[in-house]
A = this chain, B = another copy of it.
């Protein structure tokens, strides 16, 4: 039985887009299969080339593989309990940070969280292209991150992500109650008319 095929959540988009976007989803159940270094490096290479305000590149990542148990457990401990329950079984975890001020003049960089989001999205596209899955989390305790790691004042702990191969149905069933349903729930989105406007805010775009 090919459980991977059973676990697809590919959607039929309203307009033709790269398959990466319709196939991608954020699983709760990951395989314990290791991710090779080349694939991981390529994911962060895609993040590296993201666009940012004044090319500040405010993104930083702190990564650990499950086999480096001490480092990995420190990252796990920074996640909210609801995320720890499934994320601790992923083969790779990373924390996401953004630099709060511009390096050039120390002024606040209001684009920084946005630009971290863009970099992590590029990472996710490259990961998907390589058969990997990414589950991003905002459920991170910044104070705990600062307690566990020595974080310079100007950097904000903001996100975490799990990276790995899709877990089997068995991996899914091994999760605590509730996660299997969430993992298998159909992907849904607002319609374009609800997010893309023209003329005035809230009015479906006429293109």
Q: Which A residues form the contact surface with B (CB < 8 A)?
A: 11, 13-18, 20-22, 24, 26, 37-38, 40-42, 44-51, 53, 55, 57, 59-65, 68, 71, 97, 110-111, 113-122, 124-126, 129, 136, 138, 149-152, 155, 158-159, 187-190, 192, 195-202, 205, 207
* Cβ-neighbour of A57 out of B151, B155, B189 (below 8 A): B189
Number of copies: 2
5 A-B contacts (beta carbon < 8 Å): A20-B125, A41-B192, A49-B189, A71-B198, A114-B138
User: B15 contacts A38, CB within 8 Å?
Assistant: yes
Flag if A41 contacts B63 (CB, 8 Å): no
Q: How far apart are A174's CB and chain B's nearest CB, in angstroms?
A: 23
Task: Give every chain B residue within 8 A of A151 (Cβ-Cβ).
Answer: 201
Q: Give the residue of B63, B111, B207 whose beta carbon is less than 8 angstroms from that of A40.
A: B207
Q: Is the CB of A192 within 8 A of B45?
A: yes
Distance in Å: Cβ of A94 to nearest Cβ of chain B: 8
Closest 9 CB pairs of A and B: A117-B117, A121-B121, A114-B117, A118-B121, A111-B138, A15-B45, A117-B118, A113-B113, A15-B41
Interface centre among A44, A65, A119 (most CB of B within 10 A): A44
CB contacts (< 8 Å) of A62 on chain B: these are: 197-198, 200-201
Give the chain B neighbours of A195 by CB distance below 8 A: 44, 47-48, 57, 59-61
Q: Is the CB of B122 within 8 A of A113?
A: no
Tell me the bound Cα distance from A42 to B60 in angstroms.
Answer: 30
Establish whether residues A197 and B124, one from each chain, have CB atoms under 8 Å apart when the complex forms. no
Q: Identify the closest chain B residue to A47 (Cβ).
A: B195
